[in-house]
């Protein structure tokens, strides 16, 4: 179980994918392909860009039957826009927790 507000890192997930800089819908497709190789209940940590990608990737993976269980924004001083972290559960049934920070 991921606690509300807890920072998502690679340790909290079974797999991770950095999709920053990848346009839509290629970013979502990469996530869908990765999720298809994982077992039910496993979790994928995805980094995506701010703006459309975070919503598009979330909607796309949920459209394939997975669940975004956590979304968290984090500023990265080296990048012009903040990074979003998504924790996605394969075939997940857990309710989504959005970190407002």
Partner 1 sequence: MPNYSAINFDQAASSVVDPRVAERVAECFRLELANNSSIHQAGVRAAAHLENAREVIAESLGLRSSFEMIFCSGGTEANNWVLHALLNQETLTSASAPRPHYIVSSIEHSSIRQPAIWMARRGWIDLDEAPVDADGVVRLNELEALIRPETKLISIMHANNEIGVVQDLRAIGEIARRHKVLFHTDACQSYLKTPINLQEIHVDLLSINAHKCHGPRGIGGLFVRSGLELEPWFRGGGQERGLRSGTPAVELAVGFAEAVKCWSSWPSENPRAASVSEYLQELRKKLIDHVLGELPMARLNGPRSGPVLPNIVNFTFLGLEAKPIMRQLDQLGFATATGSACSSGKLTTSYVLRALGRRADAQEGLRLSFSKWHTPSEVARLGEAIVQVVNRLHDEHARFNSQ
Buried b (16+ CB within 10 A) or exposed e, 44-77: bbbbbbeeebbebbbebbeeeebbbbbbbeeeee
Q: Is 25 near partner 1 (CB under 8 A)?
A: yes
Q: Is 23 near partner 1 (CB under 8 A)?
A: yes
Which stretch in 3-11, 28-36, 40-48, 72-80 sits in contact with partner 1 by CB under 8 A? 28-36
Q: Interface residues for partner 1 in 33-92 (CB under 8 A)?
A: 33, 36, 56, 60, 63-64
- Of 101, 74, 72, nearest to 86 (Cα)? 72
| CB of residue 64 to partner 1, shortest distance in Å | 8
């Amino acid at each position: 179980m991921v606690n509300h507000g807890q920072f998502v890192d690679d340790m909290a997930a079974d797999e991770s994918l950095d999709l920053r800089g990848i346009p839509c819908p290629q970013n979502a497709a990469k996530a869908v392909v990765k999720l298809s190789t994982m077992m039910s209940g496993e979790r994928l940590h995805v980094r995506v860009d701010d703006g459309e990608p975070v919503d598009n990737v979330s909607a796309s993976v949920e459209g394939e039957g997975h669940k975004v269980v956590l979304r968290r924004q984090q500023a990265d001083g080296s990048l012009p826009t903040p990074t979003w972290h998504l924790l996605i559960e394969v075939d997940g049934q857990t309710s989504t927790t959005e970190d407002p920070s």
